[in-house]
Amino acid sequence: MAHAARAKQLQDELEAATGVRPKYPRSRVALQGLRETLDRYEAAKANLKANDARRQGAKNLEDEFSRLNKIKAYGFDLDTPTNAGQLEGEAGRLLRRAKAQHRQRATEVLKKLSDGGFLIKVKFLREQAPDVWVYEDGFAPLKQGRIRGGNVFEVTPEPQLGALEGIDRLYYANAYRVSAVVYGLYPIREPDEENLDPMRDGDLNCVAQRVIKLFEGAQRGQGLTPARREKIAQWEARVHDDGATLQDVAELEKILKRAVIVRDITGADLYNSGKYQHSGWKTIELTLHNGHAWGADLHFPQAREVAIYEGDVWAAIQKATQGEPKAVWVLGGGQNKRLTVDQFVLEDGRTYRTQETQENLVEACRHLAPEDPEVLASRVFGENHAASVVTREKNTWKPTPVILLDMVQAACMEHGHGGLWNAPDYHVNEVVSIDMKACYPASFQGKREAAPWFQRFGHPRHRMTRVAVNGPLPNDIGTGFAQVRSWQFAADLHPVVAAWFGSHFQEKQWVPTALLAYMVETGLLTKLQVAEAIVAFKKQTEVWLPASRDQACSVIGKFTQGAKADGRRLTRRLVTDQGELDFLVRDCRQSGTLVGAPEQSPAGWILTYYDGSQPQFAHLRASMLAYAHINLLEMLRRFTPNETVRVATDSIYVKKTALHKLDGVEAYVAPLICNCGDETCLDCLLGEKGLPLIAPAQWRDKGETIYAPLKKTALHKLNGVEAYVAPLICNCGDETCLDCLLGEKGLPLIAPAQWRDKGETIYAPQDHAAYEPKPEHWGASNDVADSTAPSHVDPLTRHALSYLNGGGGSGKTTRANELFRGRKPLVFTPTHRLAKEMRSRGVDARRTTASSGSRARLSGRRTAWVRSTSPGPVLETFLDWLNQRGVQVICCGDQGQPPPIAGESPHVWLKERCDYYEEITVDHRSRCDKLKALKRAIRLQPDRVQCKEMRKALPQCRGWTDFVDDWQPRDLILVTRKAPRDQAQKLLFEHHKVAFPDELVPLLYRPRDTRR
């Protein structure tokens, strides 16, 4: 029965697999043969499936190459030359053979991928002039690499369709007539600690040196005893000649009974046994780099000294290091995108550069800091770096607070689709392109049509706070950012307004308040509800920028540099040990900080990655983009949706029939017809208009023309004109020449002062930029809960230093406590009794004095209250200390109280210094209306007036004579002023002599002292 059941099961399986039912196996041998047949079939089927997958992978790669080559000018090479001249020389060859060889190249790529994974290396080539190629490196040429923290794309034997697509075709295809991209593959090696160079340096092994140094700086009782010193000496003798490996470090850890951790320069662990870490002893931390053991503080040096080298930079590095293991940071000082190395920095702060580089840098710094350009040049590594340093110092900019950084970064108005929108169909002959000069620098300085809003809001300073709105945008909203809860755009707007801003409202939610106020007050938004706002305590309405437009744009571009890498700084290190490089590549890939593939140099490998931290000025970038969009919207509002067919942040395409709407508009300057009177002037002959001279943030007709010279009706007037050279059709005779195949004309070689058709184009509609806003972009609601932050309605929430002045029972402290209770504020009081009373009400209060105030631990809190009864100098010192730590302060005081014993009242000084002052006259303590009226009448009045008002309110009050008659020598009298005190004392002494001649006068009273 078992044989029959097994036979039937195999028959069914083979029939299901092959479609043919085999004969019944009568014997055990036949049954085994049937089983083997089924196994062979399954193996063959799996093999066919694998082959199909591999063929599909080859097809995918082939499709990728075909897809990219359709962009007219992209070339691919497997072995990327490292020499720039060689690469530029081969550019034309690569370009012409790209289409013909993509199938063969896909096969070669696939063969290499079978050996393992690779990192893809990308270099750009563009034709700057005919047969003049420029070589550029690209850090992030692939969309897949543009992720948070990473710019690396890995390829595997099973590439997915679309994997290699993502070159910024919009920029490169439009900006340059011809460009090429060369791909190379960097093999990913598996890290192995056996490949690490041993750590050895000097007469004493570097690991032993570092351990001894750490012991010498240890706490008492944890120092280097004779026994420990002998053990370290014995260990050092064993590793002195060959160097210390990680296994030797593990042995040292066991000998010392002390935790030892070895990390690489990225901070990832190379050795960490996990032992001895809870023994109470300090951990020994080492950094392995270039075959040397460094301390845990191996960072880019901040104090630097400039040194000059001559000749080749790699020879200079070898000379500076003198063959010893050193930490070397390499830098490229040029202003272009090429990954050149012309400067390097050692761990001791020595900065090496050529004499020419130093002189050029000093000259550039002379324009930025004429008072001391040499000092500035020693701090920076390039002209743009110098401009950024000077600009930040002159404007006193500070980074965005980390606690608000994510929300402020979300307020940066940046759009998808390459920041471009166009109508699906328009004719290039019917439109003109107008653009705004120096859009970002000019908008950052609040020029032109954004000026009224800039003067009102300005840019936010770095000190900001969160406030609750939970309703419409307040008219008195300050400078900052708001979280959009719901919105509705007007019905007749251009669709790009809803497509751009509506999608931002929905996805990012946070928007600069200046832009929201503009859109509400101009009617672009008919409805707006805000949940929460981030408002700055101060604003900036005067901005200094370098005169150079390129430097100004560079300064703005550095505001959020490294934002996609969690605020880390781009770092380039020289690695001489390939075994260490394998670990670094792995660790950087895992953390997403690797930038491109390592590049080999004569001195080792150059590793580019994100490390450390870089300050983020997201609040300035978001504010700048708000004013750039205000300038754009002001121009866009002048035209109907049908009249504007293409929109970018700094340029728009407008139909020629609508240009009359710009007549008399100050922000627009029309092209000027040349009227020089010269008979040979081309502009006069053609009657063409030239580009006008315009100021920053003004708009102009850009003068772009269709690149089709034979169709230009006026060009026949240039026939025979010696000063003009027409584009030439390539006639080289090469059968593989793309220009000959396509019949395209290239830019001619011309002599100085000759004219040419430059070939600038008005672009036809592009598919990726033709999109419509979704219905929810016109108006929708975000799922945002009510904000629990302090309410925007109370002015106390919107100022860094507020001062509430009022009498006892006016509700000063209660108001502040209830307003900021959600932030767990810290309250400083002058007496223990008051602190104890506030703690009983659930408020963290403590007594503070001149000395204890500066020692107070804020524990990360950003709000504090101070009872302003301390002397002025003491309070000033304390408030300065709180201000340096970014703490929002509310001072509560009573001007009517007696001044401090050791100083004057801080009221006058504090009133002048505070950002917000409010005098409170409400009296919650007095229940009687007559008593409230009396307290208001005598507040801040002289003694005589107070006594007079008291007698009016209390007509039955007994006078001085009755008081003297009832007075006894042991009675104590409290007088609030010195003058009445002296007068009362004199009269009582005289009465004492007459009424009590035999009793002594008590001159000193201490309740806790038995003396009288």
At 467-479, the pLDDT tens digits run: 999 999 999 999 9
969-987 average pLDDT score? 81
Write the Ramachandran bin of 753: left for phi over 0, alpha for psi from -120 to 50, otherwise beta: left
> Residue 299: what pLDDT?
87
Confidence of residue 675 (pLDDT cuts 50, 70, 90): low
pLDDT of 951 reads: 81
Verify that 847 and 911 share a domain, yes or no: yes
Domain-located, residue 595? yes
Most confident residue range from 405-419, 527-541, 726-740: 527-541
Q: Are 389 and 380 in contact (CB under 8 A)?
A: yes
**Taking the CA atoms of the chain, what radius of gyration do you get in angstroms?**
40
Question: Is the pLDDT assigned to residue 605 strictly greater than 60?
Answer: yes
Average pLDDT over residues 808-815: 82
- Domain termination residue (choose one: 168, 187, 206): 187
- Does 648 reside within a domain? no
Higher pLDDT, 527 or 7: 527
CA atoms within 13 A on the CB side of 62: 11
Cα distance between residue 789 and residue 532, in whole Å: 8
For residue 547, CA distances in Å to 389, 438, 551, 553 come to 15, 12, 8, 11
Mean pLDDT, range 985-1001, rounded to an integer: 85
Residue 580 lies inside a defined structural domain of this protein: yes
- How many domains, in total, are found in the chain? 6
Triad 895, 901, 902: Cα angle to 5°: 110
Nearest to 65 by CA among 120, 102, 104: 102
Note the pTM of the prediction, 2 decimals: 0.75
pLDDT, position 47: 67
Lowest mean pLDDT among 11-15, 51-55, 277-281, 589-593: 51-55
Among residues of the chain, what percentage have pLDDT more than 70? 67
At 877 the pLDDT is: 82
CA distance 461 to 448: 22
Instruction: Supply the DSSP string of 267-318, one letter for each residue.
Output: S-EEEE---STTSSSPPEEEEEETTEEE-TT----SS-EEEE--S-HHHHHH
Residue 885 shares a structural domain with residue 916: yes
Query: At how many degrees (to 10) do helices 246-256 and 226-239 cross?
Result: 160
Residues 272, 145 share a domain: no
Residues 606 and 578 in one domain: yes
At 359-412, the pLDDT tens digits run 999 999 999 988 888 999 988 988 889 999 999 999 999 999 999 999 999 999
Q: Give the residue, 677 or 69, on which the prediction is more confident.
A: 677
Query: Is the predicted pLDDT of residue 151 greater than 50, yes or no?
Result: no
Residue range 665-683: mean pLDDT, rounded: 62
Q: What's residue 699's pLDDT? A: 62
767 vs 781, residue with greater confidence = 781
pLDDT, residue 629, reads 92
Say which residue, 317 or 860, is predicted with more confidence: 317
Q: Would you place residue 116 in the very low, low, confident or very high pLDDT band (cuts 50, 70, 90)?
A: low
> Residue holding tokens 């809960």?
785
Residues 147 and 218 in one domain: no
**pLDDT higher than 50, residue 273:** yes
CA distance 564 to 146: 8
Average pLDDT over residues 694-716: 48
Is 723 part of a structural domain of the chain?
no
Mean pLDDT of 409-418: 84
Residue where a domain stops, chosen among 570, 592, 611:
611
- Asked if 870 and 900 count as a contact pair (C-beta separation under 8 A), the reply is yes
Mean pLDDT lowest among 122-136, 227-241, 646-660, 952-966: 122-136
**Within this chain, do residues 357 and 389 fall inside the same structural domain, yes or no?**
yes
Percent of the chain with pLDDT over 90: 20
Task: Count Cβ atoms within 10 A of the Cβ of residue 20 and give its class: 0-12 exposed, 13-18 middle, 19 or more buried.
Answer: exposed
> What is the per-residue pLDDT for 522?
93
- pLDDT for 742: 46
> What's the Cα-to-Cα distance from 70 to each of 29, 543, 624, 764, rounded to whole Å?
61, 46, 38, 17
Nearest to 261 by CA among 581, 612, 252: 252
Q: Contact at 8 Å (CB) between 918 and 795?
A: yes
The pLDDT tens digits of the residues spanning 320-368 come to 888 788 899 998 744 444 457 889 999 988 999 999 889 999 999 999 9
pLDDT (mean) for 499-514: 94
Per-residue exposure over 790-799, b if at least 16 CB sit within 10 Å of its own CB, e if not: bebebebbbb
Of 77-86, 227-236, 972-981, the one with minimum mean pLDDT is 77-86
User: Residues for the chain: how many in total?
Assistant: 1012
Is 902 found in the same domain as 938?
A: no
**Final residue of a domain: which of 294, 328, 349?**
294
Question: Are 94 and 174 in a shared domain?
Answer: yes
Taking 90 as the threshold, does the pLDDT of residue 766 lie above it? no
**Is residue 456 in some structural domain?**
no
pLDDT in the model for residue 391: 93
Higher-pLDDT residue of 114, 551: 551
pLDDT band at 941 (very low <50, low <70, confident <90, very high): confident
748 pLDDT above the threshold of 80: no
Structure tokens at 597: 């593939």
Residue 416 belongs to some domain of the structure: no
Looking at the structure, tell me whether residues 175 and 241 fall in a common domain: no
d(CA 134, CA 177): 13
Q: What is the pLDDT of residue 683?
A: 53
Residue 976, CA distances (Å) to 898, 942, 960 in order = 7, 11, 16
**Lowest mean pLDDT across 11-15, 302-306, 372-376, 604-608:** 11-15
For residue 338, count other CB atoms closer than 10 A to its CB.
Answer: 14
- pLDDT, residue 422, reads 87
pLDDT at 75: 35
- Is position 625 within any domain? no
Each residue's pLDDT tens digit, 183-200: 566 777 889 888 898 888
- Band of residue 1005 on the pLDDT scale cut at 50, 70, 90: low
Pairwise CA distance, residues 15 & 685, whole Å: 87
DSSP single-letter state for residue 242: T
The better pLDDT of the pair 893, 150 is held by: 893
**HSE toward the beta carbon, residue 986, CA cutoff 13 A:** 6
Confidence of residue 208 (pLDDT cuts 50, 70, 90): confident
Residue position matching structure tokens 């901040």: 302
Whether residues 947 and 845 share a domain: the answer is: no
CA distances from 962 to 561, 949, 957, 958 (A): 82, 19, 10, 6
Phi, psi of 642 (to 5 degrees): -75, -20
Identify the residue with better confidence: 306 or 873: 306
CA gap 1011, 169 in Å, rounded = 95
Q: What is the mean pLDDT of the chain?
A: 75
Q: What is the mean pLDDT of residues 570-577?
A: 90
In a domain, 587, yes or no: yes
Question: Residue 99: pLDDT above 80?
Answer: no
pLDDT tens figures, 814-829: 887 788 777 767 777 7
Say what the pLDDT of residue 182 is. 54
Which pLDDT does position 523 carry in this prediction?
93
Most confidently predicted of 36-40, 124-128, 887-891, 970-974: 887-891
Domain region containing 950 = 926-956
Asked if residue 885 and residue 862 are part of one domain, the reply reads yes
d(CA 727, CA 710): 10
* Residues 933 and 881 occupy one common structural domain: no
Average pLDDT for 581-596:
85
